[in-house]
Chains A and B, each alone.
Chain A
Amino acid sequence: MIKSIAIHSHKGGVGKTTIAINMAVSLAKQGKNVCLFDFDFIGPNLFTFFKDNDIKKYLNDFFWNKVPISECLINAKEIMNLDGNLYVGFANPSSDSINKFLELSSNQAMKMLTDIFQLRSVLQKEPYNIDYLILDTTPGLAIQTVNSFLVADTILFIIKFSNSDIDGTVELISGLLNSLTAEMAVVANNIPEEVILSDNELLNIEKLIIERIQTQIDTNVNFLGWLPNDHSLQLIEYNNAINRLKGCDTRRTIHTLDIPMHPITIGIGKIISKIK
């Protein structure tokens, strides 16, 4: 049975896509068959974790141009040397494609939702046999976000550690809880590295978050864990960007693939074990 997880956030830039790709790779490394979709059609970002040459067609082609899904997915198993299959579907970052989603009509959104339900069913069967479907959603609450929510078994909310994001996320979950049947869980991202050196401090943070979530929202909303920030990543990303400007076909760092012993990789592993 396929398990679908929507990775969501109240606002952009909280590390949603980074967590989505890291989770997908981690699961595929464990031999699971995973499908990862960039459903952030307004601000596509997943493609930055892959080289240009890897990407042939987009999910947009499946939804609007009737291109078979098999042509819109890449299997990253070989590229990344994974044990399980990792099928990835990208959102088209072109301005025309983004505009189309900004003007999405009710009928188009309904057609898209029907396609997603059927796609989920297709992915469960041969040749895909997908165990996990991970959806990188559009932040906030757009019509295409609702599509992701409706197909998800679990919605994982990523909180970046700032007051506005915590407050916004708490509000968002409270509002969604009455309308959705999916399980909801929270992950705290970007906890300063200095803090995680102290177990006591971490326990205090966890306690505070759980208290906030469960008293203000609902006891059924679980806190799945935290992920540290990575100061060294800034330099790596900078170098990647420079290389790209120089015309090299580069991709961004995926901790669970490139740095197996990094605290982010370990944190992702712990989160996955709780979702399973």
Chain B
Amino acid sequence: MRADNVKVYAVYIITTDGRPMLSQIFQSPADIPENTLLAALLTSLQIVTKDLMKEENTAEKFTMKGNTYHFKSFGKFFVVLVTDEETTPHMIINRIGWQFLKEFDNQINNWMGKQDDFSDFKPRLCTIISKVARIDESRSLKPAKILDPIQLYKLEKELKNTAKSLLFFKEATIHEICENIGEDELLVKENIDKLVKLGFIGYYKKNKVKYYFC
């Protein structure tokens, strides 16, 4: 199956007993679940479906918040692919699974739970996926809270100018904010990070440039 139109948001490799081995999230971490929780969910799902269907690995996908989680067992581990399409991109899953197995077969058996052990495989993941599908690398993050006047008023003083500037621009790069308020780029970056953590600011990436908005 050609999967040119499939947009891949994340890939997880999880042991069949529910331990996350590797994860590569291309989109916002806020929109994609944390890998430990996902591993737990997947393991529970496999146990429940096995009890129901009296057969192993019968569950193949589920949908959450509009994203479809496709998964396939490769004996010792699962490959989970998160996409915007309900149709499973088998070719991508198979390529990831077999190549991972080929490269780490011995390590998987003796693996002690250190996720860094497989991190060398991350660039390979991107190569495999981008050959047949689109990777959503915008890493967009929507603000969780409205930056209304009262919230802006309550913000610590140091963050106010940066927040005001973003309200003025509606969306802007760090460079634009620096020019607008005449503050140092490092300081603005620090303030932006704080505002993102507070949930008032979102961001997306376009042509490798990060745009912030509220």
The segment from B19-27, B104-112, B113-121, B154-162 that touches chain A is: B154-162
Asked whether, in the complex, the Cβ of A114 is within 8 Å of the Cβ of B170, the reply is yes
Asked whether, in the complex, the Cβ of A117 is within 8 Å of the Cβ of B146, the reply is no
Known contacts A117-B164, A121-B168; decide if A109 and B157 are in contact (CB<8 Å): no
User: Closest Cβ of chain A: how far from B168's Cβ, in Å?
Assistant: 4
B146 — nearest CB in chain A belongs to which residue? A106
Asked whether, in the complex, the Cβ of B146 is within 8 Å of the Cβ of A180, the reply is no
Asked whether, in the complex, the Cβ of A110 is within 8 Å of the Cβ of B168, the reply is no
Asked whether, in the complex, the Cβ of B157 is within 8 Å of the Cβ of A179, the reply is yes
Q: How many residues of B contact A (CB 8 A)?
A: 16
Contact with B along A165-194 (1 / 0, CB 8 A): 000000000000011110000000000000
Cβ-based interface call for A266 (8 A): no
Cβ-based interface call for B147 (8 A): yes
Cβ-based interface call for B149 (8 A): yes
Asked whether, in the complex, the Cβ of B170 is within 8 Å of the Cβ of A179, the reply is no
List, in ascending order, chain B residues with CB within 8 A of A110's CB: 146-149, 167
Q: How far is the CA of A107 from the CA of B149 in the complex (A)?
A: 9
Residue of A106, A114, A121, A178 near B150 (CB, 8 A) is A106
Q: How many residues of A contact B (CB 8 A)?
A: 20
List residues 59-115 of chain A with CB under 8 A from any CB of chain B.
106-107, 109-110, 112-114
Cβ-based interface call for A217 (8 A): no
Cβ-based interface call for A210 (8 A): no
Asked whether, in the complex, the Cβ of B150 is within 8 Å of the Cβ of A146, the reply is yes
Asked whether, in the complex, the Cβ of A118 is within 8 Å of the Cβ of B153, the reply is no
B157 — nearest CB in chain A belongs to which residue? A181
Asked whether, in the complex, the Cβ of B146 is within 8 Å of the Cβ of A150, the reply is no
Q: How far is the CA of A144 from the CA of B148 in the complex (A)?
A: 11
Cβ-based interface call for B38 (8 A): no
Q: How far is the CA of A147 from the CA of B164 in the complex (A)?
A: 11
List, in ascending order, chain B residues with CB within 8 A of A117's CB: 164, 167-168
Cβ-based interface call for B125 (8 A): no
User: Closest Cβ of chain A: how far from B122's Cβ, in Å?
Assistant: 39
Asked whether, in the complex, the Cβ of B153 is within 8 Å of the Cβ of A149, the reply is yes
Cβ-based interface call for B59 (8 A): no
Known contacts A114-B170, A118-B168; decide if A179 and B154 are in contact (CB<8 Å): yes
Cβ-based interface call for A143 (8 A): yes
Q: How far is the CA of A147 from the CA of B151 in the complex (A)?
A: 11
User: Can you list 24 pairs linking A and B with CB atoms under 8 Å apart?
Assistant: A106-B146, A106-B150, A107-B148, A110-B146, A110-B147, A110-B149, A113-B152, A114-B170, A117-B164, A117-B167, A117-B168, A118-B168, A121-B168, A143-B149, A146-B153, A149-B153, A150-B149, A150-B152, A150-B160, A179-B153, A179-B155, A179-B157, A181-B157, A181-B161
Besides A109-B149, A150-B152, A150-B164, 10 more A-B contacts (Cβ < 8 Å) are A106-B150, A113-B167, A117-B168, A118-B168, A147-B149, A149-B153, A150-B153, A179-B154, A179-B155, A180-B157
Where the two chains meet, the residues of B that have a C-beta atom closer than 8 Å to any C-beta of A are: 146-150, 152-155, 157, 160-161, 164, 167-168, 170
Closest 9 CB pairs of A and B: A106-B148, A117-B168, A146-B149, A110-B148, A146-B153, A109-B149, A114-B167, A109-B148, A147-B149
